[in-house]
Amino acid sequence: MSRAERRPAPSWHRDRELPRSAWVSAALAGAAALVAMWPFTSVIRPGAWSATVLVVIVVTALTGVIARTLLTQRPVWVRDLVTLAAQLVVVVGALTQLVARDTAVLGFVPTDATILTFRTLVAAAGEEIVFGAAPLDPSPGLQAVMGLGFAVVAILLDQLVAQRGAIIAFLLTAAVGAMPMIVTVSGADVVWFVMLGILLLLLLRSTAAQHPESPRRTSTAVAAGVGVAALAATVVVAPVLPVSTALAGTGSGVSVDASLRLGDDLRQPNPVEVLTLATTADTAPYLRLTTLSHFDGRVWEPDRGGFAPQDEGFGPEEWSPEIAVKEQSTSIRVLRVSSSWLPVPYPATTLQGVPSSWRVSQENRTVASRSADAVGNDYTVRSLEVDPTLEQIRATPAAPLVVEPDEDAVELPAVIGETADEVTGDATNDYDRLIALQSWFRSEFSYSLETPVEEGFDGTGADAVAQFLDVKSGYCIHFAGAFALMAESLDMEVRIVVGYLPGALTTTQRGEDAVYSVSSDQLHSWPEVLFPGIGWVPFEPTASLGIPTAFAAGSTSGGGGTGTTPNAPSAAPEAPQTTGPEVERPDAGDNAGATGQLNRLDPTPVLLGTIGVLILLLLPALVRLSVRTSRRARARRGDAGAAWGELRATMLDLGIAVSDAETPRMRAADLVRDGRVGAEDMQILTDAVERASYARPSTEKADAVDDALGRVLADLRRSVSRPARTQAFLLPRSLVATRAPDAPLLA
């Protein structure tokens, strides 16, 4: 084969293949972005965020293909710059349309209001990520953050793959994808690791095939070796990284889950203040976020319909004129509750101080929004304290259970109804039956965050309730769920409320009103039963927690009741009543309280985590070092081909032009002429390669060849800049662009 025949194809010929390679690069970049996204589906529940990320990935890839295809004949730098600009414009327009279309011109062109909306959503998502517990609810804030984050990731991956940066693209994919597992300290996602390994092999092979200065053949063994090594290292290192839970974003549990999966939130070791309130009432009220009325046999579903603008009010009164009521005002400042519901007392009558995007439910007097987040809001709610007398509520039967015609009948375990009948057998009216249930739970059961997990019934399904009644230990969702199903078995209309306990009285005042502090471990749930003419009456069955319901007789109260209910306590509760039961925490100590000093952080997890990340980042360098050591060992045994292969690989790593059309003598002459290496050392290497090609193999002068190789490699490194040497060490190009370098390159 002549030298002309061995010369690489001219650039104009290679550009004819650009449209095809653009599609391949876009597909690989899109696949890499999807691989990076996969682990996030385990820490964020399905919702608008996933569709947003998919749209961002697709439009980024398509924009890259179209731009590169239209600019085929343009210089490479122009093509790349225009492609990047086009991707940024299109992705910004797509994100604006998906997240904040109402604030944009034509739904795509962002305005100042769009930027403000994104800033607000990002801040809200930051609070949710830092203080929330996985899996997080798919809030608008998370949609915005995931869309913005993967816009950057998708564009970077597209540019890296197009520029043949396989190793960097792989490391970016691995770093982004491993983040949810490392942060939540969860187990290894084996499926994701396999996908990551396959992606690496595809990236290496595609990158080598597109390299303009290297042959079309690739070293499958090297590519496979790098892929297998990366896969093994990631599988071994990532699952054992002992990241501190203080860094994991799961330490406070203030991302509220309306599906009553509160256990992970309540079990977090470091409660923080989530909101403060000042009220004109005698004591702080319970604050509700949402209600759950429908039970499908497995979970209680949140009530989602019936929301109206604030100016339409909270709906008609649920109590008759004969029932005593007392007006009260509560000012609430939300610090760290990331939720699409606002905490409000019950029954709320007016709301002031929040944007119009917050709407009110006239069915359950809650406040919710599809686009806003509770965190950061400071508002005032006017509400009533509904206080019937004992005689009035005893004389009022509870509303009968309503079953929708299209609902499937739920068959409950027999123990639920049997126990309800047994506990309430002596009562003569519905209110006394409910009080009997409340007293039974509070006296016969114990509060525990761990027992449900250890016994395997951490939920509100019918089977979990049956087991809870047997074990008699659990936390608020088990008490509320069991109470609700037992009340339903007695033919009463019941629902469950998710919200917060009243909080602890502080020494601070807001105007003339005392300020109460509510912490993350006061997240709570309780049942309510509907009494026509009185409204929804709350009960507190959770043992050792909250304020049990008890109304006083009218003859001792002058008409209105003075009893104690969760919404109308008669006296300020002591701190132990509202801060929840004492739970042993591994971090508790003399300084574990809110007023003490911070516990000393253990640097070991951070140190070991840093070491693990460094190992992943240095993986290409370690593989390259292994290959170099193997070739040098073979060179010392007389293998001239291995010595020449290492020379060529080092040139590729350092960015020195390499052409397979050159003979060893021609290449040596070029290097000597450019002043990169010494003539004597290059002569030794050239003679050894030519002797190995045309004469019988010999081990003579093997040490001389290896010594000359060492000096030549050192000269090559000194001939380039420090950044080039650093890049050659961290991202060795020879791992992805090589052709049997161990063989002499003689025609």
Residue boundaries of the structural domains of the chain: 7-244, 263-578, 618-735
The most confident of 57-66, 209-218, 289-298, 415-424, by mean pLDDT: 415-424
Token reading at 620 = 């290409």
Taking the whole predicted model, whether its pTM rises above 0.75 is answered as no
CA atoms within a 13 Å half-sphere pointing along the CA-CB vector of 456: 1
pLDDT above 70 covers what percent of the chain? 72
Of 301, 211, 219, whose CA–CA distance to 652 is shortest? 211
CA–CA distance from 740 to each of 46, 520, 642 (Å)? Answer: 48, 62, 10
DSSP 660: T
Output the pLDDT for position 388: 92
Q: What is the mean pLDDT of residues 696-711?
A: 73
Task: Specify whether the CB–CB gap between 601 and 246 falls below 8 A.
Answer: yes
Residue 555: band (very low, low, confident or very high) from pLDDT cuts 50, 70, 90: low
In angstroms, rounded to a whole number, what is the distance separating the alpha carbons of residues 156 and 51? 20
Output the pLDDT for position 122: 84
The most confident of 246-255, 616-625, 721-730, by mean pLDDT: 721-730
pLDDT in tens, 564-579: 444 443 333 333 333 3
In angstroms, rounded to a whole number, what is the distance separating the alpha carbons of residues 397 and 532? 8
pLDDT in tens, 290-299: 888 887 766 7
Average pLDDT in the chain: 75
In angstroms, rounded to a whole number, what is the distance separating the alpha carbons of residues 474 and 478? 6
Q: What is the DSSP string of 240-299?
A: H----TTTTT-SS--B--TTS--HHHHT-SS--EEEEEEESSSSPPPEEEEEEEEE-SS-
